[in-house]
A and B are shown apart, each in its own frame.
Chain A
Amino acid sequence: MTGLSLDGLTVAAGGREIVRELSLDVASGSVVGLVGPNGSGKSTALRCVYRTLRPLRGTVLLDGEDLTTGPLRQSARRVAAMTQDHASDLDFTVAELVALGRTPHLAGHRCPGPDDLRICREAMDRVGVTHLADRGVLTLSGGERQRVLAARALAQTPEVLVLDEPTNHLDISYQLGLLALLRELGTTVLVVLHDLNLAASVCDRIGVLSDGRLVAAGTPAEVLTPALVADVFGVRADVVTHPVTGGTRLLYALPDTPARPDP
């Protein structure tokens, strides 16, 4: 198949298997979300895709080609990541930081050429940070910084974009803006999200991890059931339909909140 596939992925660290036998397909051009409680292995699985970790068993395939071996630079031309790293130690300008996205495409110490600069401009346009081009990245607000990191990943011109909780620390308008961007891109996207409702609104399919294992995968409506949420996350949730979009949404209540008496 074309697209990204995690095939029987098992990852161990410190003698413990953090991800076990994970198989998940991300069809070309689709947005797939990975959700699960803290420590369920979402980020670890993602790290195998952008090559910070090497799986103990299993592979990551892109259009049938193994991504877990071979030069890092080669896979970086096809897969870009927005990780949980904070932006930068050094006060690069926004334009300089975005241009670093071209790194895997540039041999050794070659300077970015006109094509590279055009790609960077387009990436900045796309996420709406062109007006920040000459600002220092360390002087930006959290929302601006996150969009600049997205522009850097786009400048890498990847076939697959992986994102590890990209909406962390963003206010709601930036969260929605970023996720809307993912939908518009048309790139194959694998994204780890904490917020199940955000996942339901942006993802074509959702994979649910619990204790390193994939316990459910399918469309948001198929996966996000009260039974599964209770089982995996240990909370009570009611499933409703979004009054405008018709999408699946979850409603939570604090534990032991009494139900409203019937009027």
Chain B
Amino acid sequence: MFIRCTVGLGVALVASVVLAIGLGPAPVSPADTLRYLGAALTGGTIRLDEVATYEIVWQLRTPRVLLAAVVGAGLSAVGAGVQALVRNPLADPFVLGISSGAAVGAVSVLVTGALAVAGIYALSVGAFAGALVAAALVHVTARRRGPGGTSPLRLVLTGVAMAYAFQAAMALLIYLVPQGEATATVLYWTLGGFGAATWGSLPLVVVVVLAGITALRLRARDMDVLALGDETAASSGVDTARLRRELFVLTSVMTGAMVAVSGAIGFVGLIVPHLVRMVTGAVHARVLVLAPLVGAVLAVWVDLLSRTVVAPRELPLGVVTALVGVPVFVVLLRRRGYVFGGV
């Protein structure tokens, strides 16, 4: 079952990527798409009259579709990680205040003109820095020494409180610097999207997300044990305080890297882990393989819909994720006897 799912989803992902690269206002057949990709990767040749289409496929659509796949995968894995970390089914990658921290970082860069050395990546660097500062602040504020250490509830409460603080800082920045660009930037980071994807912004997020998923997967059994409660986990030889620190750092860095290039894309990180658990059970060793695959496929299709349905305009990504994801989720929830935390 698990192996069949993995292989099936792997095939679906490759097919989705090729299809999505071909589809758009100027549709390209899958065969041509593969030919262009082949030419780009192997340095082959194409006809002169194809150059314009080739440029669209290789320079615009390919990085965008790949970014969607990587961020979809990353958000789903981080969602499962954060839900284990704070032992709460409602947690998503942004529950610890990281997305609003990233937005504050980006807007600060925009208003102050700092980080000019980073050139076109200044906003992303600012957002990444903002995300990490937010995570560090949450961690330091929530931290408590002694028995039990930092409890999950403490962490969530601190994250939620900090998110308000960051949103206030953001509002203040926009108020003090009344320029349209700041408002647009905030909106972009709050809603998220893959429109800004370039080949240059891709490598870092790919490396961070893939390494992060691998690192989470290595802790899969410890994450299972953590779900049995802190006392049982300790008596099974799992150092819960250390595991929580590791999960916190891993999920924060991954979320920061993703938010920096695509903004805070909601819903995927919350729902995909639940979807996967409904189908193949709760064991993290499986969830952390299947959730990234499902998340990647979902994000690729959602992005495709968002840029094609009302082309040349783009629907906000969140609208499409909700339209596609909610019905699927509701159907699965009603069909299976799915339970989480005795609810």
Give A residues with C-beta under 8 Å from B: 13, 47, 50-53, 71-77, 79-81, 83-93, 96-97, 100-101, 103-104, 106, 108-109, 111, 136, 138-139, 152, 156, 162
Interface-centre pick from B229, B236, B281, B338 (highest chain A CB count, 10 A): B236
12 contacts between A and B (CB under 8 A): A13-B146, A51-B234, A51-B235, A72-B238, A81-B235, A91-B340, A92-B283, A96-B282, A108-B218, A109-B217, A109-B218, A139-B337
Asked if B235 contacts A79 (CB within 8 A), the reply is yes
CB distance from B264 to the nearest CB of A (A): 25
| Docked pose: A81 CA to B281 CA in angstroms | 25
Asked if B217 contacts A89 (CB within 8 A), the reply is no
Residues of the B chain whose Cβ atoms lie less than 8 Å from the Cβ of A104: 236-237
Chain-A contact segment, one of B220-228, B313-321, B322-330 = B220-228
State which of A13, A72, A85, A88 has its C-beta within 8 Å of the C-beta of B231.
A85
Q: Closest 3 interchain pairs by CB?
A: A85-B229, A76-B237, A73-B237
Inter-chain pairs besides A90-B341, A92-B282, A93-B281, 9 sampled, C-beta below 8 Å? A50-B231, A73-B238, A75-B237, A83-B232, A86-B342, A89-B340, A90-B227, A91-B339, A138-B339
Asked if A100 contacts B221 (CB within 8 A), the reply is yes
Q: Does B307 belong to the interface (CB within 8 Å)?
A: no
State which of B237, B337, B340 has its C-beta within 8 Å of the C-beta of A77.
B237
| Docked pose: A91 CA to B229 CA in angstroms | 13
Asked if A91 contacts B220 (CB within 8 A), the reply is no
Give B residues with C-beta under 8 Å from A: 87, 89, 146-147, 217-218, 220-222, 224-225, 227-232, 234-239, 277, 281-283, 285, 337-342
CB distance from B221 to the nearest CB of A (A): 6
Asked if A91 contacts B338 (CB within 8 A), the reply is yes
Asked if B342 contacts A138 (CB within 8 A), the reply is yes
Residues of the A chain whose Cβ atoms lie less than 8 Å from the Cβ of B225: 100, 103
State which of B221, B236, B238 has its C-beta within 8 Å of the C-beta of A156.
B236
State which of A75, A86, A92, A138 has its C-beta within 8 Å of the C-beta of B224.
A92
Contacts A13-B146, A89-B227 given; indicate if A103 touches B218 (C-beta within 8 A).
Answer: no
| Docked pose: A137 CA to B228 CA in angstroms | 11
| Docked pose: A93 CA to B280 CA in angstroms | 11
**B interface secondary structure, majority:** loop
Asked if B239 contacts A97 (CB within 8 A), the reply is no
State which of A47, A90, A109, A139 has its C-beta within 8 Å of the C-beta of B282.
A90
Asked if B235 contacts A80 (CB within 8 A), the reply is yes
Residues of the A chain whose Cβ atoms lie less than 8 Å from the Cβ of B89: 89
Residues of the B chain whose Cβ atoms lie less than 8 Å from the Cβ of A83: 229, 231-232, 235
Beta-carbon nearest neighbor of B232 in chain A: A85
CB distance from A45 to the nearest CB of B (A): 14
Beta-carbon nearest neighbor of B229 in chain A: A85
| Docked pose: A93 CA to B277 CA in angstroms | 12
Residues of the A chain whose Cβ atoms lie less than 8 Å from the Cβ of B234: 50-52, 72
Asked if B235 contacts A76 (CB within 8 A), the reply is yes
Asked if A84 contacts B339 (CB within 8 A), the reply is no
| Docked pose: A28 CA to B147 CA in angstroms | 29
Interface-centre pick from B89, B217, B238 (highest chain A CB count, 10 A): B238
| Docked pose: A74 CA to B236 CA in angstroms | 10
CB distance from B229 to the nearest CB of A (A): 3
| Docked pose: A88 CA to B218 CA in angstroms | 21
Contacts A86-B342, A89-B87, A92-B282 given; indicate if A109 touches B220 (C-beta within 8 A).
Answer: yes
| Docked pose: A89 CA to B217 CA in angstroms | 19
Residues of the A chain whose Cβ atoms lie less than 8 Å from the Cβ of B341: 89-90, 138
Asked if B238 contacts A103 (CB within 8 A), the reply is yes
Asked if A96 contacts B281 (CB within 8 A), the reply is yes
Residues of the B chain whose Cβ atoms lie less than 8 Å from the Cβ of A13: 146-147
Residues of the A chain whose Cβ atoms lie less than 8 Å from the Cβ of B232: 81, 83, 85
Asked if A100 contacts B218 (CB within 8 A), the reply is no
Contacts A50-B231, A81-B231, A109-B220 given; indicate if A90 touches B237 (C-beta within 8 A).
Answer: no
Asked if B221 contacts A109 (CB within 8 A), the reply is yes
Asked if A72 contacts B282 (CB within 8 A), the reply is no
Asked if A139 contacts B339 (CB within 8 A), the reply is yes
CB distance from B217 to the nearest CB of A (A): 7
CB distance from B275 to the nearest CB of A (A): 14
| Docked pose: A40 CA to B341 CA in angstroms | 31
Residues of the B chain whose Cβ atoms lie less than 8 Å from the Cβ of A76: 235-237
| Docked pose: A107 CA to B177 CA in angstroms | 55
Beta-carbon nearest neighbor of A149 in chain B: B232
Residues of the A chain whose Cβ atoms lie less than 8 Å from the Cβ of B227: 88-90, 92
| Docked pose: A76 CA to B222 CA in angstroms | 14
Beta-carbon nearest neighbor of A51 in chain B: B234
| Docked pose: A77 CA to B235 CA in angstroms | 9
CB distance from B47 to the nearest CB of A (A): 50
| Docked pose: A77 CA to B238 CA in angstroms | 12
Residues of the A chain whose Cβ atoms lie less than 8 Å from the Cβ of B217: 109
| Docked pose: A138 CA to B341 CA in angstroms | 7
Residues of the B chain whose Cβ atoms lie less than 8 Å from the Cβ of A81: 231-232, 235
Interface-centre pick from A89, A96, A100, A103 (highest chain B CB count, 10 A): A89
Beta-carbon nearest neighbor of B223 in chain A: A90
Residues of the B chain whose Cβ atoms lie less than 8 Å from the Cβ of A92: 224, 227, 281-283
Asked if A84 contacts B283 (CB within 8 A), the reply is no
| Docked pose: A86 CA to B229 CA in angstroms | 7
| Docked pose: A156 CA to B230 CA in angstroms | 17
